[in-house]
């Protein structure tokens, strides 16, 4: 069983359509893939239809932009009802924040003499529900300003760079509770991925587990071997589920191929068990895991 629980499509800043993402997952030999676009459920229906076609299991999820003590924390949410009002309200605020910073970032780029317009970004976003810096990066590539997304982030868009503008993030603890109320489970994505200062330590993770956090993403490209072992031990001590995933963005992110990290089947079963418990306690309607007809050959 090969399980990848963190991937992006064109519903946010991946480069594959949801159907292409699921077909690519099947080609990569995955049995289970979760679609986890930033702050939106927009790709779920198309991905589920493709999963039936190609015969793999699709877990609907999302990666929510949250903040803890001024620091960005990405929260993976699996199987929540996106219509549940506390969660839906937070997602609306986050998506509005994604939109409202774009003009500011473009103004900064124009201040540097780069002629980039909102239409350029809109075209690069291909109708994505969640607009992100990678779309501005793609517009810059299209204009011949940079060679790829990496160069765009390094020169202009990364935190602290000239065109960087911060945006709204949902409070982490509120969001964990909102996901539970919506009948879903939450897992912190790449918890120790960037920078040492202020990242959630063991005591913080234990507290978050107490208020409903189900797991942490241990095996992720942003974690080196020592970090993975430390996080795995913490997950074991606290009782958190340990996941592994690619954070695939299509051709938008190098070194994040589908299945480059995977989740242990036992940990996946635990996570789905917690999701079933949350769904049972919730008054909202959780989406379903789609299982295509078994091929037995993947």
Q: How far apart are CA 247 and CA 261, in angstroms?
A: 9
- Selected from 4, 13, 37, 181, the binder of Zn ion by CB under 5 A is 13
Contact letters for ligand AMP, residues 183-202 (x by CB under 6 A): --------------------
Q: Does 120 bind ligand AMP (CB under 6 A)?
A: no
Report the residue closest to Zn ion, judged by CB.
13
Burial 101-122 (b: 16+ CB within 10 A, else e): bbeebbebbeeeebebeeebbe
- Nearest 5°: phi and psi at 186? -120, 145
Nearest to 38 by CA among 97, 84, 83, 85: 97
Residue ranges in 82-101 that form contacts with ligand AMP under rule CB under 6 A: none
Among 6, 10, 133, 209, interactor with ligand AMP by CB under 6 A? 133
Please give the Cα distance from 271 to 235 (Å, whole number).
Answer: 13
Report d(CA 251, CA 249) in Å as an integer. 6
Tell me which of Zn ion, Fe ion, ligand AMP, none is bound by residue 149, counting a contact when its beta carbon lies within the kind-specific cut-off of 5 to 8 angstroms. ligand AMP
Quote the CA–CA distance of 79 and 68 in Å, as a whole number: 23
DSSP 24-35: HHHHTT-SEEEE
Q: Which of 10, 149, 220, 270 binds ligand AMP (CB under 6 A)?
A: 149
Among 61, 82, 134, 184, binds ligand AMP (CB under 6 A): 134
Question: Shortest gap between Cβ of 65 and ligand AMP (angstroms)?
Answer: 7
Q: Which of 6, 38, 190, 209 binds ligand AMP (CB under 6 A)?
A: 38
Q: Which of the stretches 25-33, 84-92, 128-136, 176-184 binds ligand AMP when contact is defined by CB under 6 A?
A: 128-136
Distance of alpha carbon 219 from the chain centroid: 14
**Could you tell me how many residues of this chain bind ligand AMP (CB under 6 A)?**
11
Binding-site member from 153, 192, 248, 268 for ligand AMP (CB under 6 A) = 153
What's the CA angle centered on 292, arms 33 and 249, to 5 degrees?
25
Among 52, 71, 142, 150, binds ligand AMP (CB under 6 A): 150
The angle at the Cα of 35, spanning 102 to 203, to the nearest 5 degrees, equals 85
The Cα–Cα gap between 3 and 258 comes to: 10
Closest to Fe ion by CB, 75 vs 116, is 75
**Is the CB of 53 or the CB of 222 nearer to Fe ion?**
222
Residues 97-156 that bind Zn ion (CB under 5 A): none
Summarize as ranges the residues that interact with ligand AMP (CB under 6 A): 13, 38, 132-134, 149-150, 153, 249, 252-253
């Amino acid at each position: 069983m090969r399980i990848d629980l963190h991937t992006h499509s064109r519903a946010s800043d991946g480069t594959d359509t949801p159907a292409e993402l699921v077909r690519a997952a099947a080609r990569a030999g995955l049995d289970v893939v979760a679609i986890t676009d930033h702050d939106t459920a927009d790709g779920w229906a198309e991905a589920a239809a493709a999963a039936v076609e190609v015969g793999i299991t699709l877990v609907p999820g999302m990666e929510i932009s949250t903040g803890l003590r001024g620091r960005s924390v990405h929260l993976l949410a699996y199987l929540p009802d996106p219509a549940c009002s506390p969660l839906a309200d937070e997602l609306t605020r986050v998506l509005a924040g994604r939109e409202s910073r774009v003009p500011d970032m473009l103004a900064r780029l124009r201040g540097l003499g780069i002629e980039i317009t909102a239409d350029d970004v809109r075209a690069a976003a291909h109708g994505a529900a969640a607009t992100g810096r990678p779309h501005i990066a793609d517009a810059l590539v299209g204009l011949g300003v940079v060679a790829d997304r990496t160069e765009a982030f390094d020169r202009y868009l990364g935190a602290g760079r000239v065109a960087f503008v911060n945006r709204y993030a949902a409070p982490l603890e509120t969001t964990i509770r909102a996901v539970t109320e919506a009948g879903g489970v939450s897992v912190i994505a790449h918890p120790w991925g960037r920078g040492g200062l202020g990242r959630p330590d063991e005591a913080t993770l234990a507290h978050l587990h107490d208020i409903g956090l189900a797991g942490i993403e241990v095996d992720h490209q942003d974690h080196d071997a020592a970090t993975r072992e430390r996080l795995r031990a913490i997950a074991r001590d606290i009782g958190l589920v340990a996941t592994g995933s690619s954070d695939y963005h299509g051709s938008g992110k190098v070194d994040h191929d589908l299945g480059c990290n995977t989740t242990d089947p036992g940990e996946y079963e635990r996570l789905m068990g917690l999701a079933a418990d949350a769904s049972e306690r919730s008054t909202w309607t959780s989406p379903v895991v789609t299982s295509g007809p078994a091929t037995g050959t993947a």
